[in-house]
A = this chain, B = another copy of it.
Amino acid sequence: MPGKLIDGKAIAEQINAETVAEIARLKEQHGLTPGLAVVLVGDNPASATYVSMKDKMCARLGLHSERVNLPSSTSVGELLAILNDLNFKREIHGILVQSPLPLQISAGNILVAIDPSKDVDGFHPLNVGKVALGDPTGFTPCTPAGVHELLIRSGVATDGAHVVILGRSLLVGRPLSLILSQKTPRANATVTVCHSGSRKLAEICRSADILIAAIGAPHFVKADMVREGAVVIDVGINRIEDKVVEKGYRIVGDVAFDAVAPKASLITPVPGGVGPMTIAMLMHNTLRAAKMRHGIA
């Protein structure tokens, strides 16, 4: 069993170590420190936790970071003005607006207000288009980029393989399908995107060489949806009630791990699988934004 676990934490630490080394080089050779601004609107406790994880990771890896905390009553205009300032701020190379936003602010209006060259989350339509077109100047959203790196660094060959992605969200399923179907040596897969309304869902999932669950439903993928020997990547992060633990809940993925793991050749755990990759890719994207801004190869 331990031999088939993909250790996302260890792979994320490899990437973080590469980021640290590259940041040291940038400082030494170019006097440049990559900077990330994180904007938090309102006081959602989960959002606050995520944002402080990002702050801490910036500090750990040697990035400059700025936090903008705004009240939940912030207007669209106020937020746009702040983003405009950050777009022009020289110390800032990446800008991230933490989701979810309060109801009076439409995410669509905000995403397009971030300079695409600082859009390290990869949500601006221009970056989505660049990823679709295989343009290397685009930013890939951090979670799908993390899944791709997990596959590469675990030695999973995608070339010609059938990847089935459960879930078609703009954050995960859709960009991941675009990445993995590119005509490049580390992609070149046959990719199926399915969803909760797909007919013959179990049959389609069973045809996968690589099954990626990003449907946001706890333990959705059962053993009968997985082929013997498939690689299973679990992107789900779901809270389910658990009275045995002190906080009253625990985090589970979209895959019924205990039942599926015996059939899989490789599988990611939750937590400790895709999760740590997302933040590692955010740091990586910020580093890349800084290098692109200054024309450093």
Contacts and interface: CB of A to CB of B under 8 A. Distances in A.
Interface of A: 108, 124-130, 132-133, 135, 138, 159-162, 168, 170, 174, 177-178, 181, 183, 188, 190-195, 197-200, 204, 207, 209
A194 B207 CA distance: 14
Contacts of A125: 126, 129-130, 132-133, 135, 138
Given A129-B126, A197-B160, A199-B161, A190 B204 contact: yes
A138 B108 CA distance: 14
B160 A199 contact: yes
B192 A191 contact: yes
A188 B193 contact: no
Q: How many copies does the complex hold?
A: 2
Contact of A193 (B108, B138, B177, B200): B177
A108 B194 CA distance: 31
A159 B195 CA distance: 11
Given A190-B195, A190-B204, A191-B192, A178 B132 contact: yes
A138 B128 CA distance: 13
A150 to B, nearest CB: 21
Contacts of A127: 129
Contacts of A128: 128-129, 132-133
A68 B288 CA distance: 40
Given A133-B125, A204-B162, A195 B174 contact: no
A144 to B, nearest CB: 12
A75 B101 CA distance: 47
Nearest to A125: B129
Which of the listed residues A108, A125, A138, A159 has the most CB atoms from chain B within 10 Å of its own CB? A125
Nearest to A135: B125
